[in-house]
Amino acid sequence: MQQLTDQSHEIDFHSEKYKDAYSRINAIVIEGEQEAHENYIQLAQLLPESEQELIRLSKMESRHKKGFEACGRNLQVTPDLQFAKEFFSGLHQNFQTAAAQGKVVTCLLIQSLIIECFAIAAYNIYIPVADDFARKITEGVVKDEYSHLNFGEVWLKEHFAESKAELEEANRQNLPLVWKMLNQVADDAKTLAMEKEALIEDFMIQYGEALGNIGFKTFEIMRLSAHGLAA
């Protein structure tokens, strides 16, 4: 079984090319985990009835950040955090604007659906091609990310009728940013043996499933997905 899934034996984790690409991808993950930590603290303030649970999720995100910092150190790579901040600036800005307006549905769509699905796709595709140290860390992290996605699904399912219009608008505004982000890192991801097509496929499967779980019908999911692509 290990032989079938582990493609990492062909990768030179210490080549300059690998480490250069890793300095950006590792930074994206570290910055993403930091922003996810902050986003769940803000969500805890917006949703007092789920405060304890959301603080728990925010603490998991800090642990993820520490784990990925260790992955960078293990390969003697310095993460390019400036690049990563710019990489997330669009989603970050949209989350902050929504939070300031108390738009909890938009905040949940951005963090608990879009960003969590992006993380799950990236980590699933990374695990079979990661170095041994990073693979163990990432396997632990991805389990947590499914539980974060689940939080968003459950809340939005319970409030589906009154959230639907805001979800559609938030999807239209934020899904195109994901394609832009994916294109921006496609070359670096490829250097880490992660194919863009595989990332897109995994993301669309996770995101489509999530939309279905909260109550969208299949034809609506197709429309929501296409809006993202076309914009």
Residue numbers at the binding site for ligand Y39 (CB under 6 A): 25, 28-29, 32-33, 36, 61, 64, 115-116, 118-119, 122, 145, 148, 185, 189, 194, 199
- Please compute, for residue 16, the number of CA atoms within 13 A of its CA located in the half-sphere on the CB side: 0
162-166-172 Cα angle (round to 5): 150
**Residue 32 or residue 228: which is nearer to Fe ion going by CB?**
32
Shortest distance in whole angstroms from residue 123 CB to ligand Y39: 7
In angstroms, the CA 97 to CA 94 distance is 5
DSSP at 115: I
Contact (CB, 8 A) for 227 and 175: yes
Q: Does 153 bind Fe ion (CB under 5 A)?
A: no
Q: How far is the CB of 27 from ligand Y39 (least distance, A)?
A: 10
Please tell me whether residue 65 binds Fe ion under the rule CB under 5 A: no
How far apart are the C-alpha atoms of 80 and 30, rounded to whole Å? 10
Q: How far is the CB of 162 from ligand Y39 (least distance, A)?
A: 25
State the maximum Cα–Cα separation within the chain, in Å, rounded to a whole number.
Answer: 52
- For the bound state, the minimum distance from the C-beta of residue 168 to ligand Y39, rounded and expressed in Å, comes to 23
Instruction: Tell me which of Fe ion, ligand Y39, none is bound by residue 28, counting a contact when its beta carbon lies within the kind-specific cut-off of 5 to 8 angstroms.
Output: ligand Y39
Q: Which is nearer to ligand Y39, 140 or 218 (CB)?
A: 140
Which residues within the stretch 126-145 sit at the binding site for Fe ion (CB under 5 A)? 145
Q: How far is the CB of 59 from Fe ion (least distance, A)?
A: 11
Residue 136 CB partners (closer than 8 Å, separation 6+): none
Q: Which residue is nearest to ligand Y39 (CB)?
A: 32
Closer residue to ligand Y39 in complex, CB, 84/211: 84
- The DSSP symbol for 12 reads -
Closest C-alpha to 108, from 65, 30, 162: 162
Residue 224 binding: pick among Fe ion, ligand Y39, none (C-beta 5-8 Å cut-off by kind): none
Report residue 14: phi and psi, to 5°.
Answer: -110, 5
Judged by the rule CB under 5 A, the positions of this chain that interact with Fe ion are 33, 36, 61, 64, 145, 148
